[in-house]
Amino acid sequence: MLVILCMCNAPLSSLRAAFVELSGNSDYHDLLVSVLWDGVVHTSTQVRCGAARMFDHLVGVMSEAQLSTRVVPALVTLASDQEMVVRVATVSAFGTVVETATDREVAEKANMQFQAFLDDPVYKTEHAMHVQMIKTLGRIGPNAEPKFRDDFILPRLAFLAAGNNYTANETKKRDLAIALFEAYSALSCCFVNEQMIREALLPGLRCLHRDMAVIASEHEEIVGSMIREFEIKLESFRPHDSPSSSTMPYMSQAPNPTVNLGGEVKAAMMNKLKDFRDKSSSSHIASIFKKK
């Protein structure tokens, strides 16, 4: 059924409903994974994309053993596919692994794949990958471990927001800005410590505010309100008798074109990501796994 639907470019909603129903019974888990593995090795790009998307509906109900030995290896295989659209289709499922996996090793494999998606030069100009990564990080952020949110999600979103300031294509700029707006809206309910507000959250929001003023003015005021809210929170961390000009409300300050927010965000991101780097070469991730 997966092959037929994908080859006909038909919606996967019926198959998704069947998977959700069957996945409620652990007796069917091996069968469901086997069906998707057939899609993983299929010659059709559409079928491989469909398999990648369907894995997202199994991750949350699989045992840690099944995640480690069958599901994550399948996703990593798809993440090294020769077609970029297939790689992009795996992002949401990897996000669900990060969000739900209790086994540290399993979560770390997903973390490394996320790092590869954002660090490998091959993805530098892949707009669809950037948009999907932002959407996924925004979705999993509120439920992710605080350390992962602070060390990875917030710095990465800030870096992508800074880069979007220099995107010339208005359509791509808007796509990324809207995705960032939704991600920051979701993350605004999370507790964020003083350091991360200063080093990642506020710089990222300020970059986003720049773009909203140009291409999505209907959201500009909301982003400005988010900035003011976090500036107030940041001010509350400081002694009242030693005010700092750096904590003055952003919206009340005149724009300073000499401020290089991109450099600020990049420096902060690189500092926060030092624990993620060099753990594994992204070009060798796929070789870790073999189909069971």
* Average model confidence (pLDDT) across the chain: 84
61, 20 in Cβ contact below 8 A? Answer: no
Q: Does residue 279 carry a pLDDT above 70?
A: no
Q: Does residue 13 carry a pLDDT above 70?
A: yes
Side chain identity, residue 86: V
Q: Across residues 150-169, what is the average pLDDT?
A: 96
Burial class of residue 251, CB neighbours in 10 A (0-12, 13-18, 19+): middle
Q: Does residue 258 carry a pLDDT above 50?
A: no
Side chain identity, residue 5: L
Q: pLDDT grade, residue 259 (50/70/90)? A: very low
Determine the Cα–Cα distance for residues 167 and 272; give it in Å rounded to an integer. 25
- pLDDT, tens digit (0-9, with 9 covering 90-100), for 175-218: 999 999 999 999 988 999 999 999 999 999 999 999 999 998 99
Integer CA distances (angstroms), 276 to 103, 129, 148, 161, in order:
18, 20, 10, 20
Q: Does residue 246 carry a pLDDT above 80?
A: no
Closest CA to 48 of 105, 6, 100, 101: 6
Q: pLDDT grade, residue 289 (50/70/90)? A: very low
Q: What angle do CA 142, 265, 255 make, to 5 degrees?
A: 110
Determine the Cα–Cα distance for residues 169 and 104; give it in Å rounded to an integer. 40
- pLDDT, tens digit (0-9, with 9 covering 90-100), for 75-126: 999 999 999 999 999 999 999 999 998 898 999 999 999 999 999 999 999 9
Integer CA distances (angstroms), 16 to 73, 85, 172, 199, 268, in order:
21, 20, 30, 40, 40
